[in-house]
Structure 1
């Protein structure tokens, strides 16, 4: 594939989601990625329904643009083969628990001695150090430990299981790519590679962003439905007559005024600017009552010409047909390996 990373060669030892998603992004940007696949170890994404053709849809998506080498890393001679390969590669990405690659004879120090310019990225749940370094976990655990789950959801029902893998992708995958590319830039200046240690829990903790800043520096612990952006204001979702949902993000005065006028709530414009919980709750109840009067399609038509930060909550299939996402080419067709085309999510990074 062509792209700004077409000179980069990546050895990918990862499975499941975080590492494969990161290396998919690198491949989308032009990097040459070689997956090292264990012939005797099942990658769960490969057997996870639904299927399209030979493989699961998730596996086909995460492996696009990559070549595959089947190799049992525990067999005699496997480590020697990797040592020979790594001479010609720029980046190694692995997702084993700390110490596993060392026991296999292909840890960072070993491969660095062969290729001093090598960039070696390890993605783990808790990082290479600390008391949890060897502990098992999944996305829901990392978000919990990182404090993210504590201020999501509703006050009376607690944190929800998220519909996307936030710690895995926004945490592990994206931060891994950033770390790798930062190391590439430094290598251009020094000629030396380095070890990139990515903890999905660290990354999830950093995603707290504004609520984290408010807590650590301001002493304000955000709880569900108490903040401006987590349900404590009229910035929220509202159910329509046909049991769909409308998102309202009309925070700025010009948008909230337009929202109130459009809903026939002009007399409540002042409440939108108030920081009093009682005022926000009163406005929320009023908006909820109005939105419940019409179907989602009617509200879409009404707000189509209103620049008010109000949009429908779409399903993934609906989003794929949205004119904005279609114009951006966010649905692509990829050969699934047997000559048949498969629709997939496109790469969100554009180079113009």
Structure 2
């Protein structure tokens, strides 16, 4: 069955991670996505190691299910080709700095004069307005300016470099998809397209959620290891005897009671419910000492049938083999186009009526020039 977005056509001018991740989600949901790339300025994800079957794994994943054309947009004839294409498309996604698309002659005002129903989404680090609109940045910078890094990590060591690109993906990619689909609904009601301005810094700032609410309305600034959820309580990670880690999220009374019973810390059940920092510190030390006495595998067996919100910290390879991930089809095989398939992360949303399909791995540059041009 076709995905829920099978009627949507997307023209994608983005590169690297935020835009391609967003349009991959749209493609997985059935949209026809056409990437427009420069023939002489290769997207770095096309060559980024490691490689599988001669293709970058990053490119194979981020650009699955998409078509590709190669055009030098500094040539007037190619700009005219884009103008001809845009009349048939619903959405444009671009990730240049503000003003670049205008200078190329395919900015929002030009393209909407051709297609008034066009939804035009720009993803940038700082948005189209404000004093930082023209500055360069990366995920670590957006998280820093948005206040996210200030309350992550350990008090004595400062903020950690995150293992995933939070501002790029949870910020830019997901908010871009949300904005595009909201604009699609508006167009269905009004017949009008519109411009969607996505700032990865704005989106990262919005991710502060509870800590942001506490600061802005309650005047309470959160610092590392100062609150219930960022290391200020026994809600934390603990090292096992073999150097692995367990996550303990046993916040509610029924879970914390079960945790203490399992670890032989019955006398500390009241500490788990206490807001006294000294009680929490004492409980954390006790939990740490108890967990350090056994291996990760031993603890997995202990907690396997105890509903206590305690789980192992798995590597990505281990997570991919976990029965829960397998049951949810979160590891799939995607067609390479040569009779073989590549193992990839699956689509995380499950639709009852319109199942999603990953299509094929990222195509070679300009593979679809003949079909679209």
Corresponding position of 1:235 = 235
CA distance in structure 2 between the aligned counterparts of 1:336 and 1:274, rounded to whole angstroms: 55
Give deviations 1:245-288, integer Å, cap 9, x for gaps. Answer: 00000000000000000001011000000001000000000000
Count of aligned residue pairs for this structure pair: 352
Q: Which runs of 5+ in 1 are unaligned?
A: none
Paired position in structure 2 for 1:306: 306
Shift of 1:297: 0.2
Distance 1:196 1:53 in 2: 37
Structure 2 SS opposite 1:334? strand
Deviations 1:64-105 (A, max 9, x none): 000001111112211100000000000000000000000000
* Correspondence list, 1:81-120, <5 A: 81-120=81-120
Cα distance in 1 for partners of 2:337, 2:194 equals: 35
Local SS of the residue matching 1:157? coil
Q: Secondary structure at the match of 1:256?
A: helix
Give the deviation of 1:335 after TM superposition: 1.5
Does 2:131 correspond to 1:123? no
CA RMSD in angstroms comes to 0.7
Cα deviation digits, residues 295-328 of structure 1 (max 9, x gap):
0000000000000000000000000001011000
Q: Does 1:180 align with 2:180?
A: yes
State TM-score, norm by structure 1.
0.99
SS for the counterpart of 1:237 is: strand
SS in 1 for 2:281: helix
Hey, what does 1:209 align to over in structure 2?
Answer: 209
Tell whether 2:260 aligns with 1:260.
yes
SS at 2:33 equivalent? strand
Hey, what's the Cα distance between the residues in 1 that align with 2:67 and 2:53? 18
CA distance in 1, matches of 2:224, 2:336: 42
1:245 pairs with 2:245: yes
TM-superposition CA deviations, 1:168-203 (whole Å, max 9, x none) = 000000000000000000000000000000000000
- Counterpart for residue 146 of structure 2: 146
1:44 aligns with 2:44: yes
The runs of at least 4 aligned residues of structure 1 exceeding 4 Å deviation read none
Q: Deviations over 1:213-247 (max 9, x none)?
A: 00000001100000100000000000000000000
CA distance in 2, matches of 1:84, 1:91: 14
Moved more, 33-42 or 122-131: 33-42
Q: Which has the higher contact order (CA 8 A, sep 6+)?
A: 2
Query: SS of 1:270's equivalent?
Result: helix
Partners of 1:321 and 1:338 lie apart in 2 by: 26
**In the alignment, structure 1 residue 270 sits paired with structure 2 residue 270:** yes
Structure 1 residue matching 2:82: 3-state secondary structure: helix
C-alpha distance in 2 between matches for 1:339 and 1:40 = 30
The equivalent residue for 1:221 is 221
- 1:137 equivalent in structure 2: 137
Aligned mates of 2:80, 2:267 — CA distance in 1: 75
Give the SS at the match of 2:87.
helix
Distance 1:182 1:7 in 2: 15
- Structure 1: how far apart are the matches of 2:337 and 2:100? 32
List alignment gaps of at least 5 residues for structure 2.
353-373
- Structure 2 CA distance for aligned equivalents of residues 233 and 216 of structure 1: 23
Q: CA deviation at 1:2?
A: 1.9
Matched, 1:6 2:9: no
Shift of 1:120: 0.2
- The match for 2:367 is none
Measured after TM superposition, the shift of residue 336 of structure 1 is 2.5
Q: What secondary structure does 1:88 align onto?
A: coil
Secondary structure of the structure 2 residue equivalent to 1:260: helix
Name the SS of the counterpart of 1:350 in structure 2. coil
What is the match of residue 357 of structure 2?
Answer: none
Distance 2:45 2:147 in 1: 28
